[in-house]
Amino acid sequence: MTLESILFYVLSAVAIASALLVVTRRSPVISALYLIVNFFCLAGLYLTLHAQFIAVIQIIVYAGAIMVLFVFVIMLLNLGDEPKLRDRMSYKKVIAVGLAAGLLTELIYIIETSWVILPATTINDFTDIGTVEYVGGQLFTGYLFPFEVTSILLLVAIVGAVVLAKRKF
């Protein structure tokens, strides 16, 4: 067992555990903190795939910017804990978990039966496609138009957020 596979299994175990804790905790603040743990694990997994640029962006944008926004809104709304789990156990939750289990079975069946067409492990030839140099070069040549449209999207989001949060409904 190489160091790389040990790292993969540790990071994926922590990622799955923290994802489960995100959806099961009653307090939104604790969910947000476990979500940050999950984002860091995913950044580590991107590093095992030699995608350095995306790993750094994951930490800066997701764990930094987006989660600060979430925690700020939780603080602003001053929400308390939800009622205890057994008080709100209903048939809806049982149906939700059943549907999710069915979806997981389907996805794993598809992945395990399509191993013939999946790419083989020839990662060593392409270790440079995740670097800042390569990704930046691609962004400003082949993907320049989508990159510029992104700025309009962000402008629309800023205006939309301000309008929605200011207006009295």
Partner 1 sequence: MVPIQSYLVLSAVLFVIGAAGVLARRNAIIVFMSIELMLNSVNLTLIAFSVYLGNATGQMLVFFVMTVAAAEAAVGLAIVIALFRRKKTVNLDEINIMKW
11, 19 Cβ separation under 8 angstroms: no
Query: Is position 139 an interface residue for partner 1 (rule: CB under 8 A)?
Result: yes
Any idea how long the chain is?
A: 169
Query: Is position 141 an interface residue for partner 1 (rule: CB under 8 A)?
Result: no
Q: Tell me how far apart the terminal alpha carbons of the chain are, to the nearest angstrom.
A: 59
18, 37 Cβ separation under 8 angstroms: yes
Work out how close the CB of 119 gets to partner 1 at its nearest, in angstroms, rounded to a whole number: 4
Integer Cα distance of 38 and 143 in angstroms:
29
Work out how close the CB of 169 gets to partner 1 at its nearest, in angstroms, rounded to a whole number: 5
Which of 10, 129, 132, 140 lies at the binding interface for partner 1 (CB under 8 A)?
129
Query: Is position 85 an interface residue for partner 1 (rule: CB under 8 A)?
Result: no
Which of 10, 75, 140, 160 lies at the binding interface for partner 1 (CB under 8 A)?
160
Integer Cα distance of 70 and 128 in angstroms:
34
Which of 10, 75, 93, 140 lies at the binding interface for partner 1 (CB under 8 A)?
93
Six token digits for residue 112: 């395990």
Work out how close the CB of 86 gets to partner 1 at its nearest, in angstroms, rounded to a whole number: 14
Q: Could you give the maximum distance between any two Cα atoms of the chain, in Å?
A: 59
Query: Is position 57 an interface residue for partner 1 (rule: CB under 8 A)?
Result: yes
Query: Is position 132 an interface residue for partner 1 (rule: CB under 8 A)?
Result: no
15, 45 Cβ separation under 8 angstroms: yes
Which of 10, 126, 132, 140 lies at the binding interface for partner 1 (CB under 8 A)?
126
Work out how close the CB of 103 gets to partner 1 at its nearest, in angstroms, rounded to a whole number: 5
Which 29-48 residues touch partner 1, going by CB under 8 A?
A: 31-32, 35, 38-39, 42, 45-46, 48
Question: Hey, how many other C-beta atoms are within 10 angstroms of the C-beta on 24?
Answer: 11
